[in-house]
Structure 1
Amino acid sequence: MTETTTAVETPAGSKHATVFRAVAIAEAISWTGLLIGMLFKYVLSDNEIGVKIFGPVHGTIFIAYVITVLAVRKQLRWTVPVTLAALAASIPPLFTWFFELWAQRTNRLS
């Protein structure tokens, strides 16, 4: 007997959605690291190592997030308001993660 394999088709936006999710979550995690670093620097002690580490990390991932939003918006068929919401989510801490959850729930990542 010969074995046949069937190709599983993935939704058009799945690769782009996966990349967006990864960058959005990484941005939220880097914000968390920076906030913890700021807590230690300004409240708990005068140690600024957390800010020195997470500041550049967060800055790099923030830029990657903005570029990713602009790169995937057409493939994910985002309207201008959805794109602007995604970009605005990069400013408050952890909102990229909340936007990603909302986009998943409302089928904007498929």
Structure 2
Amino acid sequence: MDLKTASALRRLRLVSVPEGISWILLAACTVIKYTVAEGFDVAPVLGPIHGVLFILYVIFCLDAWNRTKWNAGTGALYLAYSIIPGGGFMAERKLRREAENAVIASRARREGVVETS
């Protein structure tokens, strides 16, 4: 994995959790607004924050998709994570595991360990 690909995946990981948090907060505050506290409106504050994080997530996801050459299913799955409540957490966990596996594979290649499938 080259440095630009690793950077693209790292950017996607870094924005995925804040995007997931903002999605959940915005949804929870909307439910509170319409059920419990009618004067409670945080959408003017949380809406733009979530919007910026969502746009960053999509841009970083498309960049990572392009650099890693994911198949259509994998790329679409990462894009779908931005729509699912809490999907940012799932994306981050999956990306972290892939990064750890890439490091392990790189070390194994350097040390001459042969993989048996």
TM-score by length of 1: 0.75
Instruction: Give the aligned partner of residue 32 of structure 1.
Output: 24
Q: Which residue of 1 aligns with 2:113?
A: none
SS in 1 for 2:66: coil
| Offset at residue 18 of structure 1 (A) | 1.8
Q: Could you say if the C-alpha distance between residues 54 and 74 of structure 1 is closer, same or farther in structure 2, counting changes exceeding 3 Å?
A: same
Q: Are 1:76 and 1:109, in contact at CA under 8 Å, matched by a contact in 2?
A: no
Tell me by how many angstroms 1:81 deviates.
1.4
How big is the shift at 1:94?
1.0
Other-structure match for 1:56: 48
CA–CA distance in structure 2, aligned partners of residues 56 and 63 of structure 1: 10
Shift of 1:109: 8.6
- What aligned pairs does 1:1-110 form with structure 2 within 5 A after superposition? 12=3, 13-107=5-99
Q: CA deviation at 1:22?
A: 1.3
Q: Does the CA-based 8 Å contact 1:28-1:94 persist in structure 2?
A: yes
Q: Which has the higher helix share?
A: 2
Structure 2 length as normaliser, TM-score?
0.71
Alpha-carbon RMSD across the aligned residues, in angstroms, is 2.4
Distance 1:93 1:69, change over 3 A: same
Shift of 1:11: 5.8
Is residue 28–residue 97 contact of structure 1 (8 Å, CA) maintained in 2? yes
The C-alpha deviation readout for 1:72-98, integer Å capped at 9, x for no partner, is 223334222111100111111111221
- Unmatched 5+ stretches in structure 1: 1-9
In structure 2, the gaps of 5 or more residues are 103-117
CA contact (8 A) 1:21 1:100 kept: yes
